[in-house]
Amino acid sequence: MDAFESLIATLLRRQGYWVETSFKVELTKAEKRKIGRPSSPRWELDLVAYKGDANEILAVECKSFLDSPGVKIRDNEFYPSKRYKLFTDVVLRRMVLRRLAHQLIERGSCRKDPAITLCLAAGNIANQASRDWITKRFRKMSWRLFDPAWIREELVTASSSSYENEVSLVVAKILTRNGGGQEVD
């Protein structure tokens, strides 16, 4: 698991979700043929989060892009689209999310008929036009976006809570207290 996935997992746990990283969705041979990927291995989701009281599953794709231009939209599509298959391929998305729910129910990890939401955690979004398109599209599709503003807000909130031995939360405390870690007289 990379550091950005670990950060998002920590923030979701603070919101009451159980989180599993690098979750492998077991597609049958027939399902793989139906999505046009007959020889593909198991489909991997960066994070799967579950909140029991709401019977809610979040399938989270993480794109940090911290030292790059960020998540880009070009011609009303994610660019490059191959990096965003679950967001761009309807058949694949339905198959993977349906199988995810089946797998979690079958192993006793959630109740029947969970609400499943596709999510994107983005550490950087290329520009305002991309942000506007993503916001509009996600609202229409009932998806969730964990963007830099959400991440920052969650870290600031976490910094004022009691101590947790988690690197990202310790760093948040250091950066937000006593003038950002500078010595105060």
Cα torsion angle, 61, 111, 104, 94, sign? negative
Q: Choose among 19, 175, 123, 68: nearest CA to 167.
A: 175
Q: Choose among 117, 102, 7: nearest CA to 54.
A: 117
**What is the tens place of the pLDDT at every residue in 116-145?**
999 999 999 999 999 999 999 999 999 999
**What is the tens place of the pLDDT at every residue in 51-105?**
999 999 999 999 999 999 999 999 999 999 999 999 999 999 999 999 999 999 9
Specify the fold of 3-176: Trna Endonuclease; Chain: A, domain 1 (3.40.1350)
What one-letter code names the amino acid at 173?
K
The residue ranges of every structural domain in the chain are 3-176
